[in-house]
Amino acid sequence: MSGQGQGNPAAVGLAAFGLTTLLLQFHNLGWCGTGVVFCTAITLGGAVQLIAGFQEFKCGNNFGYSVFTVFGAFWLALGLIWFILDLQGAQSPLIGSHLKITPTDIGFFLLAFSIYALIMWVASMRISSMMAFAFTTLVLGFAGLDLLFLMDMKWLMPAVAIDLTLCALSAWYMMAHIIFLQVFGKDILPVGRPWITSKPGLKPVMIKEAATCGS
């Protein structure tokens, strides 16, 4: 089976983001350990999203370029944090005072990404309803994690996990939308109109499902 033109990198980036995020929530709900999450974070959430982001750069799509590369780096950094925490717990001599990590440190790490997610949430409202929904759940999830690590509100974890599960599934919905649109030749899974539209007389922002070169 072959298609015409260039593939849509968002189909891969959204798949990687959704799967890695979903798997982490399985852990947060107590269903699986962190080993498989670590491996997936490095290979899929990290490497694959970076590749998708670099392909979005070639498409001239700053939104997809920024989102996939930054969150690809997020997963790589998170995996590295887990690795350091394991070495730290084993009292490895490789971990000096400058590499030690505390729960508060993780909280500020998440807070920084929360601010980034908030900025992209505003931009997502000009793309589609489903993209805006995905970033709304992402921002809420980051806010919950911030409170969990910075304020020690551990009781929030189940609610945060459910919220981020919805975020992961919405990413997969957009992935399926992109794939089904090409495979079936019609919009089987509509993503909805943007929450913010252009004012009359202004040229609309040309962004389609987080990618502009795969239609």
Residue 203 lies in a domain: no
- Report pLDDT for 96: 80
H/E element, 182: helix 157-184
Residue 62 lies in a domain: yes
Residue 1 lies in a domain: no
Residue 214 lies in a domain: no
Q: What is the DSSP string of 74-136?
A: HHHHHHHHHHHHHHHHTT-TT--GGG---HHHHHHHHHHHHHHHHHHHHHHTTT-HHHHHHHH
Q: Counting beta carbons within 10 angstroms of the beta carbon of residue 176, is it exposed (0 to 12), middle (13 to 18) or buried (19 or more)?
A: middle
Residue 38 lies in a domain: yes
Dihedral sign from CA coordinates of 113, 119, 120, 122: positive
Cβ-based neighbour number of residue 33 at 10 Å: 10
Q: Decide if 129 contacts 121 (C-beta within 8 A).
A: no
- Report pLDDT for 52: 98
Q: How many residues are given for the chain?
A: 215
Residue 136 lies in a domain: yes
Distance (Å, whole) CA 40 – CA 16: 9
Task: Compute the C-alpha angle 165/135/70, nearest 5°.
Answer: 95
Residue 179 lies in a domain: yes
For residue 188, the 8-state DSSP code is S
Residue 43 lies in a domain: yes
Tell me the average confidence (pLDDT) per consecutive run of 10 residues in the chain, 215 residues long: 71 98 97 95 97 95 97 98 93 85 96 98 97 98 98 97 98 98 95 84 45 48
How many domains is the chain built from?
1
- Report pLDDT for 209: 44
Domain extent at residue 45: 10-184
- Report pLDDT for 160: 98
- Report pLDDT for 213: 64
Cβ-based neighbour number of residue 47 at 10 Å: 15
